[in-house]
Structure 1
C-alpha cells in the first residue's frame, strides 16, 4: 500500500452548500486523513493523506462535489509519497 499526500484548492460555488461536510464525510468513509476549511477568497482548501488508490477516488469525489455545489476548477499541489500518515482522522478546520 503506497501512502500519498497532497493539498487541494476547490474553486466555484463551494461555500454555503455543505462542501466541507461532504469532503470530510467522503474522506472518513474512504479512510483518508487530513483536513478541509473555507478560505477567505471563496475557495475550499485542504490536505489529504492515505492510500494511493483511495486518494484517486477522493480526487474524483472532490471534482463532483455535493448537490448544489459547482466545481469550476480543482488544483492539486505538493503531491508526494509519505512513509506514514501525519493525521489520525479527517477534520473540518475553522
Structure 2
C-alpha cells in the first residue's frame, strides 16, 4: 500500500512506468479517400485518447501515426484495419516503426493535409 507522505515526483514516474507509451506508423489501402475516412479516424483517435495524425497519400491510400498507451493504440489498430468510415473499404494495411517511445511526438490527434 502506498502512503500519502511519499513525494509526488515518485508517483508520477510510477504512473509513467505502468502506462508505457507506444507508437505505430500505418498505411491503409482500399477505398479510403472521398469517404470521410480521415474524419472518422481522427474522431476515433481522439475518443481513444491517443495522439498522432492521419493524412491522404497521393497514391490513394491513407497514412499516419498513432501514439499513446499500448492498449489504446492496439484498439485503434483494430478499428482502423477493420472498420474505418461507414463507406470505406479496407483492402490491406501495413504497420511500421512500432514500439515503445519515451515521449509523445504529437500533441493531439489531427488531420494533416
Q: Please give the TM-score of this superposition, normalised by the length of structure 2.
A: 0.81
Query: Unaligned 5+ residue runs, structure 1?
Result: none
Aligned to 1:17: 35
**1:16-57: per-residue Cα shift (whole Å, max 9, x none)?**
000000110000011110111000000000011000000111
Flag the structure with larger Rg.
Answer: 2
Higher relative strand content: 1
SS at match of 2:68: strand
Higher relative helix content: 2
Aligned to 1:6: 24
Aligned length: 94
Runs of 4+, deviation exceeding 2 Å: none
CA RMSD, 1 decimal: 0.6
**1:65-88: per-residue Cα shift (whole Å, max 9, x none)?**
111100000100000201111111
